[in-house]
Structure 1
Amino acid sequence: MLGDKGDTPLLLNKSPATGDVGVIVDHTGDTKRDIQASSNATSLRTAPHSLYRDERWFTGKAPYAGICPGVNDSGIISSLPLPNLATSGQPELLQYFDNTWTLQETLFAGLRTRAAFYRQPDHKLRHPLIFYYGHPAAFYINKLRVAGYLNSPINAHLEALLEAGVDENSWDDLAKDVTDWPAVEEVHEYRAKVYRLAREVIATTKFATELGRPINMDDPAWAIVMAFEHDRIHLETSSVLMRELPVDLVSRHPAWPGPTAAARTSREERLLPANEMVSVPAGEVSLGKPNDFPSFGWDNEYGSQRLKVGAFQASRYLISNGEFYDFVVSGGYRERRFWSDDGWGQVRLHNKKWPRFWVLDGPAGLHEYRLRTVFDVIPMAWDWPVCVNYHEAKAFCSWRSERSGTTLRIMTEAEHHRMRDPLPDNPGCKDDMAMHSDGHQLARQGINLNLAFGSETPTDGSPLSASGFGDVFGNVWQWCEDAFAPLPGFAVHPYYEDFSTPFYEGQHQLLLGGSFIATGDEASIWGRIPFRPHFLQHSGIRLARSVAEPAGNGAGTRNGTGTRNGVRESNGTTARNGVSSYSGDGDCDVTRAFNQCMLLHYGSVAETVGPALPAVSWMELAHGFVQRVVNLLVETAQAQGLELRSALDVGCAVGGASFALTQHFSSVVGVDEDQVFIETARAMARAGNQAYQRYDRGQRVTNLLARLNTSVRPERVSFQLAEASILPTGIGSFDAVLAVGNPRSSRVHSTAFFERLCGPDAVVRPGGLVLLVDDILDCQSNATENAASNGSSGGMRMASEYEPLRSCDVPMIIREHERHFQHIVPRVTVWQRVNARQS
């Protein structure tokens, strides 16, 4: 019946005999008429079979030369260049919209049957393709409403159902799809309505030509170009899902670019081309897209960071299917030692023995394979780049390291920038090939980007960069060692607040360089995308290895530098949110203390423990020390019936306890003697987030993002630079004082500090509370003994003015690296000031 989701050919072209449902669209994109559903419930089943839909499948412009922008004289569609938002007006953006819309529908024209739309991926980590057919259209409506262009939905049900995709928690987070998805005809009709409405909005919106200035991220029009680029992101998503479908469910539409001819298909040619390691000297790079660069960008592309990069070597070409074949044949998928815990778990769960897009051609022991492209199975192209996930890339590095006797890895983000052609100080459109060349033009140059081709191409087929590397951009995405993280100065955009921030948790890896199907912003020099390490994209491997630096060169300096994934931050650079993560002397111990403190104050259990070890009970019990001591103070105050008006956090470090106190106290002051810590806490109050690093092993780090809890009231807290031993005279008096201290201070429990707890200038009001914690890193220093019995004037005063209320052990955990943790059990005491003396 109509809307049936069975395995039948899907036709939306009306014939006199059947009257199949569809929408007829003329070449201007205006709907002529709606064809009503035939009362014949079997019409779709009896329709003449055709692999391809006619123009009525296309709710926008059909992919014909002279009709749809981006279609050449051979009838093949490709991507237009990314628009220049400083010069483009309504005509240019209408063309880009039509190209974008028809690219998506030409891709989906490759699904032959209804089953292809509704079949859940076998890995169960994504929605079926019916979702991705409608999702980009729903995004247009939702974002046009957010930007104020529309005041009501077209179809509220579909716009809610099709709004959010899937980001599963782990490789084994499997679920059976039970969603009642709409019929293809319903989504097709919805897309037709969205196309007409979106085109009308674009045709009446003022862009650069009409405004006489560039449009920027503060303009409502930013939502329109955002919708274009979101649509293009899902060309990649959907094409991967189609590549994973059984091949009999798909067939390429004639307008879609076909796979390139594979030249090296015999096993004798599998190690061609030779793939030597190319040396890159130490140097500096600048990361981040300028705010005034005249193209659309996603929020994570903005910000800036200048880094010193140590000398390294990287493979001239991407790792080919031929090179990866030896890993497969030698049992790489059987050897546990090459894999991380999560990677090995995924191998075992899916019984993986070779890359997903390889197709076994005979008995398994023969190791004969063919290659699956998006729509076809072809002879194995040994010289095309292999497509693998991050776990497979890292396992291959381990295997090659063992064989070569050298430590190999994948590249870092900063190293990828060193491989690129250098940019001028003020880059412009001419420096970004995605902005000045369409896919057809790039194909003539041998560059596999912007849908120049419909598949991977030989790894030695593109021009080399100035530093001697092939496919720095294009062919397949390149996995990075870096976890996905914001650049300094990152800020969310109000039109899409959760585009990047949910993925700054250290569980998503960074991908750079674009693939053959990356278009628009994804194909630009600024593109950065995150994926979980078990996810497969059109993504591959470039090997890298660090090179020892001779003493005295720039990469070994200690003048204000710190490390980030094997690279060093240059002098004067600020870390996330404009906060320098390193003190002036650049001491690596200072850097480590900063990152440890951030993890202690803001890290979750998963972030603290990391993926190398399971979280055991003592780790979970010892986690969250800062929050637990705040809870202890608050509970004691409430038990005493005290008002929770003001609190002082002495040795506040990066502010975790201070922010926790704002949930209970109307006014909080945090003080610390470390300027970096104070600046970090202030930045957290302003921005609500702060990036830092977790040490894993050796030079390996994971980038993390600390975020304030939504219940925190940052407007209630202020942070001051001051030593605990010389607190400012005018700081005031408080209902509660928390004295935990930071890992770099030894003055919190000094005699001078105890003296400030007593007498006429005491920072604690009569009846107020003080919580003291033993020196975290020196348990020989006992705060309780110092407070009451050390014989000093401050200690004796405190003994006479305070009564102890509580004393308990509060365990804590400090991470050194993925297999080294400090389990510390400091004594925590709570005191009440009961005898306020004036002298």
Structure 2
Amino acid sequence: MKTHILTGKPVLTSLKPLDLSTCTKQDILDYFENSYDLHETLFTSLNDDNVFYMCPDRLRLPLIFYFAHTAVVYVNKLMLARLLKERVNIEFETMFETGVDEMSWDDTENYRMGGSYKWPSIQTVVEYRQQVRNIIKNIIQETPLQLPITMDSPWWAMVMGFEHDRIHLETSSVLIRQLPVDMVTKPDGWVYGPMKHDQGVKENPIIQMEATDVTLGKPENFPSYGWDNEYGLFDCHVPRFESSKYPITNRWFLEFVKDGGYNKRELWTEDGWQWKEFKQAKHPSFWVCDKGCKGNCGASLSDYSHCQPSNNNNDFHNKNKQGVSGYWYRAMFDELELPMDWPVEVTYHEAKAYCAWKGPEFRLPAEAERHVMRGTKKTETESTSCDIIYQDTIPANLNMQYGSSTPVNLYPANDAGFCDVYGNVWEWHEDHFNGFNGFHTHHLYDDFSSPCFDGKHYMILGGSWISTGDLASRFARYAFRPHFIQHLGFRVVRNTDNSEQANLPIRVISNDTFVLGLGETKSNINFDTTEVELMAVPSTNYHYVYESDVSLFGILQLEFGFRESMPRVLAEYNSMLTKLFDIVPGSCAVFGSGAGQLAFLLSRNYDTVLGVEICARFVDASIKLQTDQSLSLPDPYNQNQTFTLDSDVKTKNIVFKQLTWIPNEISPNDLVLMTHLHRVQNPQAWLLRLWEITKSTGLAVIASIDNKWTPKELTPILSDKLQLVRCDEIEFETDKSRLTATVTAWKHH
């Protein structure tokens, strides 16, 4: 084990999550140390420091990023919660702040993967992790604790860090599992599950479930940590259905492979077939053959594949050729005989193809059906004891009881007759990832879930063998794009009530989304909607619904269509303010840049202007205006209208970015303007870092178009770092009348 990377002790067992109504400071400290130690212990499996700079997945970042990332998130969230007063290392807290969620299976490698990016040394990162560990221990010991810890408590940020750490324990394990096997060594004490239990599993019985009603969603006051998408409520009627008792195992998926399933176009969705052809996939990613299959690694590992051709000196593959299955299996640190009774791990595309191969009536479960399969559950009124992850003895392959999957019959069936409804591997579902009724984001992590409510992320439920903390909770809801590789399998379902067949309890997002660089993209729906009716609902990400062609035309008209438009009045007002407060016209940032007019007008006076917008359609329009000086769009009557820039704007001074939060990459500016609080999901999230992106000699200006953000509302959020220096009402022109906006100006104390 590479113990030189540890800032604590090697640990391979996980504690229960915190009960936020009863936990002590010692409980919190112990859970933090356990979370931090687990993450570091996983990385001791890397044989050499050079492996930290490898890219096991060409669509992800090098492992050094994930090793540092969790410590950085602690710092960034504790800064937002004001539990931490000063940064530890702003360079690291920028470099390691944000990972990737690749749009497609054929994305190009991130530039940081290709070696052009200078990553810091392992020793420097270890020293940083040690600093952060010491700081967090001190905060836990010195900060007054008031129970229960709720979403409004600064301690919520601390627990958020613990659970984020545990998310990356799992995601990093998937990346390490993709490395060449000779680059890793199984840590001492890491135990794989048994290959077989009892007489083995030859059949997969189908269990019928009667129609019922379910209510999904976690109570807001439940005393455990939860991510934003878990809260809210959703009531649903689930028609009669039947499902396989077990997840699909390697044994049963092997039948699909041997029957030529990967070569039968008719079994695959359109996207699935394109992915399969691009990947040249012949079997699941963690199966191993001797055919030299195309690998998934990036950068210097781009030529690597687990499926190395056999030769006289390759003892493993020579043995493999004599095996019954023709395949071996890549576990975390070793290649094993294909464990027939372990669940297969596949992408959504492969799972859908298998369902089609089984028969046209088969599909993946709905999220609501999954809750029915869980059988009798304790009520939430019984507090944390109702959640499987809080049990003293967990009857599932969860919480690192093993360092791998296990036979699907190892744990007993629940009272509904199903095995592995929790743990072993996550399972794909047909539903798009979306919030429940009443969904709202948290100000400390406004964009944790909502960017994925795009009709292109599919629900995964149940947790895996390495799921701990919130990941292993009964309330956990996560999602991935359909091409992602995870410890992730599936089971099959079919309807049995023909009278209700047209009303499947599958929630899909009804609206299309606009993606910068791609344009409008359709929600992925893999059903013939002329045959069945799904539960089509709008995205609970407000921006995906808001940013339509109509809203784009409207904002262009408001910004460019009037002599005294809001951007023109605000630009003049800020010119007055900068003179009044002697602000240097160097750098300026506009949050809520819309179609770009305010940024264009400010470019006449500022050396650099950053225009930040959430809505991709608006950023796209801004960039087109910047390039072409004008933009033509049809109005509501289908008549083209042209919007033109002023001749004296300096378009080369401007950069437009689509951002869903204020990242550390935005450096302090002489002037910061915020104009979009009336149309963001969580205004507080955009205000928390306002002080940090405004220079000590600079000015922050907030324009409240709906007049809701006055000094009374802003002062409690900003006053510890910024002081109010001016408040005015300004008038601007619209197509209906002249309106007023409240504008406040703020400077550092």
Structure 2 vs 1, CA of residues 544 and 194 (structure 1 numbering), >3 Å: closer, same or farther? same
Alpha-carbon distance in 2 for matches of 1:632, 1:205: 49
Cα-Cα RMSD: 3.7
CA deviation digits over 1:501-551, x for unaligned, max 9? 111111211110000000000000011112111001100011111222558
For the pair 1:201 / 2:139, whether they are aligned, the reply is yes
C-alpha contact (below 8 Å) 1:369/1:380 kept by paired residues: yes
Structure 2 vs 1, CA of residues 712 and 365 (structure 1 numbering), >3 Å: closer, same or farther? farther
TM-score by length of 2: 0.66
What residue number does 2:334 align with?
Answer: 376
For the pair 1:117 / 2:49, whether they are aligned, the reply is no
Displacement, 1:231? 0.4
Displacement, 1:633? 7.0
For the pair 1:179 / 2:117, whether they are aligned, the reply is yes
For the pair 1:353 / 2:282, whether they are aligned, the reply is yes
What residue number does 2:729 align with?
Answer: none
What residue number does 2:9 align with?
Answer: 61
What residue number does 2:225 align with?
Answer: 296
Displacement, 1:712? 12
Alpha-carbon distance in 2 for matches of 1:530, 1:128: 22
Which of these residues, 414, 417, 421, is aligned with residue 472 of structure 1? Answer: 421
C-alpha contact (below 8 Å) 1:371/1:379 kept by paired residues: yes
SS in 2 for 1:378: strand
Which of these residues, 59, 63, 81, is aligned with residue 129 of structure 1? Answer: 63
Structure 2 vs 1, CA of residues 365 and 612 (structure 1 numbering), >3 Å: closer, same or farther? farther
Matches within 5 A, 1:520-599: 520-548=469-497, 565=506
Alpha-carbon distance in 2 for matches of 1:520, 1:146: 23
CA deviation digits over 1:735-782, x for unaligned, max 9? 857xxxxxxxxxxxxxxxxxxxxxxxxxx99xxxxxxxxxxxxxxxxx
Alpha-carbon distance in 2 for matches of 1:510, 1:458: 24
Displacement, 1:424? 2.1
C-alpha contact (below 8 Å) 1:313/1:547 kept by paired residues: yes
Matches within 5 A, 1:80-229: 80-121=15-56, 123-175=57-109, 177=113, 178-207=116-145, 211=146, 213-229=147-163
Which of these residues, 362, 382, 388, is aligned with residue 433 of structure 1? Answer: 388
Alpha-carbon distance in 1 for matches of 2:513, 2:182: 53
Structure 2 vs 1, CA of residues 201 and 353 (structure 1 numbering), >3 Å: closer, same or farther? same
Alpha-carbon distance in 2 for matches of 1:636, 1:85: 51
C-alpha contact (below 8 Å) 2:197/2:409 kept by paired residues: no
Structure 2 vs 1, CA of residues 184 and 468 (structure 1 numbering), >3 Å: closer, same or farther? same
C-alpha contact (below 8 Å) 1:434/1:523 kept by paired residues: yes
For the pair 1:391 / 2:349, whether they are aligned, the reply is yes
Matches within 5 A, 1:241-280: 241-255=175-189, 257-263=190-196, 272-280=201-209
What residue number does 2:377 align with?
Answer: 422
Alpha-carbon distance in 2 for matches of 1:82, 1:609: 36
Alpha-carbon distance in 2 for matches of 1:79, 1:104: 11
SS in 1 for 2:485: coil
SS in 2 for 1:308: strand
SS in 1 for 2:459: strand
What stretches of structure 2 of length at least 5 have no aligned partner? 290-316, 528-546, 568-593, 599-675, 683-701, 709-732, 739-749
Structure 2 vs 1, CA of residues 547 and 566 (structure 1 numbering), >3 Å: closer, same or farther? farther
Displacement, 1:103? 0.9
Alpha-carbon distance in 2 for matches of 1:635, 1:60: 56
CA deviation digits over 1:345-365, x for unaligned, max 9? 222222110101111145699
Displacement, 1:635? 10
Aligned-pair identity (%): 38
What residue number does 2:461 align with?
Answer: 512
Give 1:416's aligned amino acid.
R
What residue number does 2:268 align with?
Answer: 339
SS in 2 for 1:125: coil
Alpha-carbon distance in 1 for matches of 2:42, 2:555: 56
Matches within 5 A, 1:1-20: none
SS in 2 for 1:565: strand
What residue number does 2:573 align with?
Answer: none
C-alpha contact (below 8 Å) 1:310/1:549 kept by paired residues: no
What residue number does 2:410 align with?
Answer: 461
Structure 2 vs 1, CA of residues 136 and 364 (structure 1 numbering), >3 Å: closer, same or farther? farther
Displacement, 1:716? 7.9
Structure 2 vs 1, CA of residues 686 and 399 (structure 1 numbering), >3 Å: closer, same or farther? farther
Displacement, 1:326? 0.8
Which of these residues, 227, 231, 244, is aligned with residue 165 of structure 2? Answer: 231
Alpha-carbon distance in 2 for matches of 1:190, 1:642: 52
What residue number does 1:715 align with?
Answer: 706
Structure 2 vs 1, CA of residues 201 and 273 (structure 1 numbering), >3 Å: closer, same or farther? farther
What stretches of structure 1 of length at least 5 have no aligned partner? 1-51, 64-76, 557-561, 568-594, 614-622, 646-659, 665-683, 691-710, 718-733, 738-763, 766-839
Alpha-carbon distance in 1 for matches of 2:246, 2:50: 39
C-alpha contact (below 8 Å) 1:171/1:342 kept by paired residues: no
CA deviation digits over 1:762-809, x for unaligned, max 9? xx99xxxxxxxxxxxxxxxxxxxxxxxxxxxxxxxxxxxxxxxxxxxx
C-alpha contact (below 8 Å) 1:600/1:626 kept by paired residues: no
CA deviation digits over 1:679-733, x for unaligned, max 9? xxxxx9988569xxxxxxxxxxxxxxxxxxxx9987289xxxxxxxxxxxxxxxx
Structure 2 vs 1, CA of residues 180 and 279 (structure 1 numbering), >3 Å: closer, same or farther? same
C-alpha contact (below 8 Å) 2:237/2:505 kept by paired residues: no
Alpha-carbon distance in 2 for matches of 1:286, 1:81: 26
Displacement, 1:154? 1.4
Structure 2 vs 1, CA of residues 339 and 142 (structure 1 numbering), >3 Å: closer, same or farther? same
Alpha-carbon distance in 2 for matches of 1:635, 1:61: 58
CA deviation digits over 1:254-308, x for unaligned, max 9? 03x321121279xxx98x2410111111111111111111111111111111111
C-alpha contact (below 8 Å) 1:135/1:163 kept by paired residues: yes
Structure 2 vs 1, CA of residues 363 and 115 (structure 1 numbering), >3 Å: closer, same or farther? farther
CA deviation digits over 1:195-215, x for unaligned, max 9? 1111111122333xxx3x311
Displacement, 1:342? 2.3
Compare relative contact order (CA 8 Å, sep 6+) and give the higher one, 1 or 2: 2
Give 2:13's aligned amino acid.
S
Give 2:127's aligned amino acid.
E
C-alpha contact (below 8 Å) 2:440/2:681 kept by paired residues: no
Alpha-carbon distance in 2 for matches of 1:155, 1:194: 10
What residue number does 1:413 align with?
Answer: 367
Displacement, 1:423? 3.6
Alpha-carbon distance in 2 for matches of 1:283, 1:166: 39
SS in 2 for 1:715: coil
Alpha-carbon distance in 1 for matches of 2:42, 2:559: 60
C-alpha contact (below 8 Å) 1:90/1:206 kept by paired residues: no
Structure 2 vs 1, CA of residues 642 and 200 (structure 1 numbering), >3 Å: closer, same or farther? closer
SS in 2 for 1:502: helix
C-alpha contact (below 8 Å) 1:481/1:509 kept by paired residues: yes
Alpha-carbon distance in 2 for matches of 1:632, 1:389: 42
SS in 1 for 2:262: coil
